Structure 1
Amino acid sequence: MKPKVSIIMPIYNVEDYLSRSIDSLISQTLLDIEVIAVNDGSTDNSLDILHEYAAKDQRIKVIDKENGGVSSARNAGLANATGEFIGFVDPDDWVDQEMYEEMYETAIVDGADIVMCSYMREFGSHSKEKQFNLPEKITYKANDVQEKVMRRLVGPLKEEVANPELLDAWGTVWSKLYRADIIKDNGITFTDLSVIGTNEDSLFNIEAFYYTKTFSFINKPFYHYWRVNSTSVTTGYKPKLIDNWSNLYQIIEKLIKEKDLGDDFYQALNNRISMNTLGLGLNEVSKANKRSPVTKINRLNQILHDHRIKRSFKEFELGQFPIVWRAFYFCAKQRFALGFYLMLSSIEVLRKIIR
């Protein structure tokens, strides 16, 4: 008999955090689960820790493979998942005990194909809840799933652009529970980061939500997203990020065209491209990038003159933004590289203060 939930965990050199994460899973109030732990070629003691847990709890299945990246590891987990529903947990994060029981029961009661919860950002010394301006619970059905959720994953429209920090808040896979048939029957997998750089979660979700008939959101922060791990795949300088994101945009644009999703989706993608200059900029000004300030400014100038970014800014409206963000994106839209650099440097400092 298949378990109610398969939880997929991609693992690479996280011996310092792994026990905390696995302990949170095996102590779930929902007992009928399987934990598919995919060791992606770790060179530390992660695999030994996994074998120790698997020897004590038969619900833990260990897959040991050569290093191929987080997308490859998650895809290996998907291929071996047998549960009615599928969830994802990163190995440096943890979850509340009742997370999967509440999400599973919501899926059954609502007939939902995907259920999502909120999450806490954990900074070691303090926590910050990710705020979603929504009621305690909301359910979308039929066309509303594509028009209000899937489209939001592609990019924001109108007043949604006012909060750039929420651009990908809906896109994480680890805050969701998926009906396995939605994923497996439609052959949905994760795209390798060597192709798209980041946002493999959002791309996976865009496709999954296309096939979703009912979606439920629970406004409770069951998931704990650890922001202290300096070895995480989300940290570090990515020199090819603009090329990677160009590939990402092409994939999304192709999907919009093939599925005939309409003008709102094209405008949403256009807004994503414009707003993603924030991420491209922060990547360039990061301390992990050892280039000189002058070289960084020149690089920012090249980014702002990219043909796709220039085209997206022609239709990008600034009126919805608060004054600070309006000034920031004005610099980007006008391709004022020095001002763009100075504002990015200030944002980077403020991010650390806020944390």
Structure 2
Amino acid sequence: MKEAKISVIVPIYKVENYLKRCIDSIQKQTYQNLEIILVDDGSPDMCGEMCERYAQEDSRVRVLHKENGGLSDARNVGIEAATGEYIAFVDSDDWIDDKMYEVLYDTLLKYDADIAECSYRNLYADCIVEETNCTGNVVEGDNIFALEAMLDWRYFKPNAWNKLYKRSVIADIRYPKGKLHEDEYTTYKYMYNAKKLVYVDFSFYNYDRRRTDSITGEKFREANLDACWAFRERVDFFEKHGIKSLERKMNDIYCWVLLDRIYQCYRQQINGPKVKALVEQARQDVDYLKKHDVDPWYIEEFKLLSKGIEKYGMARSVRERK
């Protein structure tokens, strides 16, 4: 049986010290029928030249140069250019183990699934932490099972890069340009489009958390509030598609994330336009929450936040000191 082509999309920006490690790990995959799409997102360093050298040496490598538009935009450009029946993503400061795509592809076929996912290891400056116990267990389920597991942060996760997707589940869904936490806006939609998903409890992806100048390595800032709107969109998506069984869980998570992020802003004295917009969002959501299944405590917290971030922050600080 002929192996299907996997298009591996790598967004690239200011990673010349890490890029070789990343691309080499993709080239060394035991699954060889790859289309390696390197998206140079207007990188000001030597990344563009490095990509071109890889393309000269390996016919599987395609290089796309574009003006800087951010991670989401780069991924979207890669999706549009991809010709494979399957799509995968690797962040350019990370790397993957040799058998990652062989295992995910074989698992997809064995279980007749649309998305296959593996675990990953977190690399910190002073230690390596496995995300899971790496038992080797395989977990399969339909889209609602996977969405609930994602909400519970077990098995299926919202990360873009530890998965192999059938192209059909991606369809016309694209990452939101100019947003942080772009995975939170997008992955659950791919999951919903899948009839079956399968998870393999082995770590094949190496998530490098040691860079302080990366998106994930930077300290909390106002842009991190983008996650709150991602979760709010997910609330609307679940309601629109009639996922009633997960309504309470999704609503509670959205409320918790919003209140947590707002409180971080209060403690760090961040009070820009996104903070103001999020407080207004909370004010509007009070009526919504009253009509939907949610922990009543969150309704009272949203009412308090509606009076302003200072009142909410001070009240929460008092509670936490008790």
TM-score category, normalised to shorter length? 0.7 to 0.9
User: Aligned equivalents of 1:180 and 1:305: distance in 2?
Assistant: 35
**Could you tell me which of 283, 286, 306 is aligned with 1:307?**
283
User: Aligned equivalents of 2:184 and 2:98: distance in 1?
Assistant: 26
For normalisation by structure 1, the TM-score amounts to: 0.74
- Call closer, same or farther: CA 1:337–1:279 in 2, change over 3 Å: closer
Task: Please tell me whether the aligned partners of residues 237 and 284 of structure 1 are also in contact (alpha carbons under 8 angstroms).
Answer: no
Matched, 1:316 2:299: no
User: Aligned equivalents of 1:207 and 1:92: distance in 2?
Assistant: 25
Q: 1:274 aligns to what?
A: 255
How well do the aligned residues superpose, as a CA RMSD in angstroms? 3.5
Q: 2:206 aligns to what?
A: 224
User: Aligned equivalents of 1:261 and 1:64: distance in 2?
Assistant: 40
**Could you tell me which of 139, 144, 149 is aligned with 1:147?**
144
Matched, 1:54 2:39: no
User: Aligned equivalents of 1:102 and 1:133: distance in 2?
Assistant: 14
User: Aligned equivalents of 2:317 and 2:48: distance in 1?
Assistant: 43
Task: Please tell me whether the aligned partners of residues 2 and 84 of structure 1 are also in contact (alpha carbons under 8 angstroms).
Answer: no
Instruction: Provide, for residues 28-56 of structure 1, a one-character-per-residue CA deviation record: whole Å limited to 9, x for no partner.
Output: 11111111111111111111111121111
Deviation at 1:279, TM superposition (A): 4.3
Instruction: Provide, for residues 225-277 of structure 1, a one-character-per-residue CA deviation record: whole Å limited to 9, x for no partner.
Output: 000112212324432544x3453244223322332222x33322211223213
Amino acid at match of 2:283: H
Question: Runs of 5+ in structure 1 lacking a partner?
Answer: 161-165, 319-328, 345-355
Q: 2:81 aligns to what?
A: 80
Identity value in percent: 26
Kindly report structure 1 stretches of 4+ aligned residues shifted beyond 3 Å: 132-135, 166-169, 244-247, 277-285, 302-306, 308-315, 331-336, 338-344
Task: Please tell me whether the aligned partners of residues 174 and 186 of structure 2 are also in contact (alpha carbons under 8 angstroms).
Answer: yes
SS in 2 for 1:36: strand
SS in 1 for 2:200: strand
Which residues of 2 match residues 113-262 of structure 1 at below 5 A?
Answer: 113-131=114-132, 136-140=137-141, 145-153=142-150, 155=151, 160=152, 166=153, 170-184=157-171, 187-194=172-179, 197-198=180-181, 200-234=182-216, 235-242=218-225, 244-245=226-227, 247-262=229-244
- Call closer, same or farther: CA 1:55–1:280 in 2, change over 3 Å: farther
- Call closer, same or farther: CA 1:54–1:218 in 2, change over 3 Å: same
Q: Which deviates further from its counterpart, 216-225 or 50-59?
A: 50-59
Task: Please tell me whether the aligned partners of residues 122 and 128 of structure 1 are also in contact (alpha carbons under 8 angstroms).
Answer: yes
Amino acid at match of 1:215: L
SS in 1 for 2:222: coil
For normalisation by structure 2, the TM-score amounts to: 0.81
- Call closer, same or farther: CA 1:36–1:305 in 2, change over 3 Å: closer
